[in-house]
Chain A
């Protein structure tokens, strides 16, 4: 059972906007930064969002992150077929560990 809670699946049609939620607690999301990772099939995870809402160089601005209290969200606008992947939220936890969400499988219909 993962420390952070994500919906197991999400879906949308090309061009749509989808959001993926991530719920945690005071010891992780509320007190620390949230990160999002994208894992395409058969590949290693890739950092998508850092410090709640910052995009690494090369990540399209269609991807955005937000945080409020003990929850965070990843939004993907202008959905494209290549966005079909697993998405994971993560945060440092005050118990001196990294907390991951269980992952959300995004399907582009």
Chain B
């Protein structure tokens, strides 16, 4: 059974940093791209970032480019999102989600975690 478990959320002041983690199990971790998607409670989904299976290709939404860094550790079957210079508009529930296609990104997110909540507030 595929499982994605996010952690690392919390309350941080504007301008601060936070690192989110996503522990993956139940599939060949390094074969699949993985995404971060965020959602302000009560609002819609916003794609944040994507990393390929090898970890050498990354993509970001314009809203986070230059501030967020996605990475993955094959030895720990884990995905990370390092967030810096946080703004109030970065607040939300952050989901990690597995891409459905092995070896290449499709944008089809077939498995999702339950999310970790980030609140940026003074």
Contact = CB atoms under 8 A, between A and B. Distances in A.
Contacts of A91: 107
Interface residues of B, number: 23
B89 to A, nearest CB: 13
Most chain B CB within 10 A, of A51, A91, A92, is at A92
Interface stretch (A14-22, A66-74, A95-103): A95-103
A76 interface: no
Nearest to B107: A92
Interface of A: 2, 32-33, 35, 37, 43-47, 50-51, 56, 88, 90-93, 96-103
28 contacts: A2-B44, A33-B106, A33-B107, A33-B108, A35-B108, A37-B45, A44-B113, A44-B114, A45-B97, A45-B112, A47-B100, A47-B108, A47-B109, A88-B44, A88-B45, A90-B47, A92-B105, A93-B107, A96-B59, A97-B47, A97-B59, A97-B61, A98-B35, A98-B37, A98-B50, A98-B109, A100-B45, A103-B44
